[in-house]
Amino acid sequence: MAPTEDFTPLGVVAAEAEPLGERHLRQILWALVLLGLAARAVRYLLAFPIWPDEAYLCANFLNRGYLDLLEPLDHHQVAPVLFLWAELTSIRLFGFSEYSLRLVPFLCSVAGLFLFWHLAGRLLRGTALMLAVGIFAVGYPLLRYGCEAKPYGCDVFASLVLVTLAVEWWRSGRQRWLWVLSAMTPVALGLSYPAVFAAGGISLAVAFSLATSPGRRGWVPWAAYNLALVASFAGVYALSVGPQSASELDWMREYWKDIFPPLASPLGMLGWLVEVHTSELLQYPIGGARGASTLTTICCAAALVFLWRRRQFTLVVLCLAPLLPNLVAACLWRYPYGGSVRFVLYMAPMVCLLAGLGAAVLLVRRDARGATKGRPAVLLLAALLAAVAVGSMGRDFLHPYRTDDVLHQRDFARWFWFTQQYDGEVACWDRDFPSAATSVMLGDSASALYLCNREIYLAGRGGPQWDRVSRDRPLRCVRYTVLNATGDDAAVARWLADLRTRYDLVSRQQYDLPNRHKDRELLYVDRIELYEFVPRATTVTATRSSPAS
């Protein structure tokens, strides 16, 4: 029995009545896709300085192997195991750099753009297709998080793969797509924690379609898919979620407490729902907190009404169902629902589909005589989307860093670790003098940015070559700490006294590098002390052995 649902790609008007011809629509679509690719490439190639949120995670790759990454991460970090392994593989293949650390999210972002185009083409046509793909191509959250060394960009790709497979099954009715979906679910959940919300929503949408379409078959592969989903989640939980959550859940709950739903107040809950759904959750192509995404919300609402009137109930469920398990997790204080767009990037494919369709519904009209209205508005919106991409690239060229503080941190690392080794031997207090390392606060999250920059600009070089230290090639040592932190002054004094038996201290400098939240609220100050030594004239032979020996 043939399925009763209509699987023809949706347009808001007949194909021949579109305000722009097929050729013009395709040209605009390609232009927006190319702008989106260019914006991604520009941001990636500019190699922004590592910023603290990335450094907290990346510092875990400095001294860990693949199995070590299954243990709780340092610096209050939680990340899926396949993402961690992919990052470590990139580092081992290409070295520890801004490029290798961001390569996996960047590749996911580029591949995701073309996969979304394929997905949107299965569901939409005409103006709706062009706008949906355009919003996804130039959406600022997708540009930004596709070039950060965090798993957020992979959240989009993992969710997109699952949704695309579900749509392929829905359109074709071929059960093999559900079997492929079952096989891909473990990979998606291993790559992205929030992908479980998309997977749960897909299960509800498939079940709804099977229950409401008597001609469809697929309950057996649907059951297998749910078994794979449960087993995958249990496996990922046992391998990484559980151990990581056990050490970080209380900290994360405290960190997220202001964005969890206010369950004790029904009125407050209503206001919270309105704010969440007009803010970061729907921040495409741009938007933000305090209702700044209201226009996108209106477009999504218009799309849902349109789908409902067209009796596309399965698509309505597919687009909205992933939010249900996410909301349950938020009510249990396990995972945020909104609060920041990075937490809900798994919803990007569904939001962009709805936003593009809704914008077309609102802009393209037929008058009483049957003539199509909306061509200028569609062209204006396409131009605005292009402006988002161009503006993003312009801003990145003019301001290729997140904050002034991280730029100063990188400038110091470049100056010291990269340039000072050309006419001297560079050493680090915690790495090259193990007997003195106990006084360094390297277990504190404040050190993560310093350690990552050091690793990047040392570029894999080992410690100093002690036999090359001379009066013309001094030993330059850096000591890192946090201003006003409790230190072991006695250890520093012993270290200096020991070195002075073999070297003369010819220079001592001090640099204070502030770290502020978005260049505003001061969080802490890195103190970096530089010591320069040359061999004592009477003990030249002392330079031929390591002071650490």
At 195 the pLDDT is: 96
Find residue 380's DSSP bridge partners: none
Which tokens hold the place of 514? Answer: 């502030």
Q: Which residue has the tokens 């590749």?
A: 107
Q: Which residue has the tokens 């961690």?
A: 84
Give the lowest-confidence range in 152-166, 291-305, 498-512, 530-544. Answer: 530-544
Supply the pTM of this predicted model.
0.91
Phi first, then psi, for residue 170 (nearest 5°) are -60, -40
d(CA 126, CA 1): 31
More confident residue, 370 or 268: 268
Spell out a b/e string for 297-307, using b for 16 or more CB atoms within 10 Å of the CB, else e. Answer: bbbbebbbebb
Q: How much is the average pLDDT of 70-95? A: 93
Q: How much is the average pLDDT of 92-113? A: 96
Q: Which residue has the tokens 């922004």?
A: 48
At 547 the pLDDT is: 47
Kindly state the percentage of the chain with pLDDT values over 90.
63
Burial label, 239 (beta-carbon count in 10 A; 0-12, 13-18, 19+): middle
- The answer to whether residue 519 scores a pLDDT higher than 90 is no
d(CA 338, CA 293): 12
- Per-residue pLDDT tens digits for 469-481: 999 999 999 888 8
- The answer to whether residue 377 scores a pLDDT higher than 90 is yes
d(CA 298, CA 302): 6
At 437 the pLDDT is: 52
At 214 the pLDDT is: 81
d(CA 259, CA 510): 40
Q: Which residue has the tokens 């995670």?
A: 57
Find residue 511's DSSP bridge partners: 528
- Per-residue pLDDT tens digits for 318-355: 999 999 999 999 999 888 998 889 999 999 999 999 99
- Per-residue pLDDT tens digits for 206-247: 999 999 988 788 999 999 999 999 999 998 888 877 777 766
- The answer to whether residue 542 scores a pLDDT higher than 90 is no
At 440 the pLDDT is: 46
At 6 the pLDDT is: 67
Averaged pLDDT score across all residues of the chain? 89
Q: Residue 69: CA atoms inside 13 Å, Cβ hemisphere, count?
A: 23
Confidence category of residue 4, pLDDT binned at 50, 70, 90: low
At 3 the pLDDT is: 45
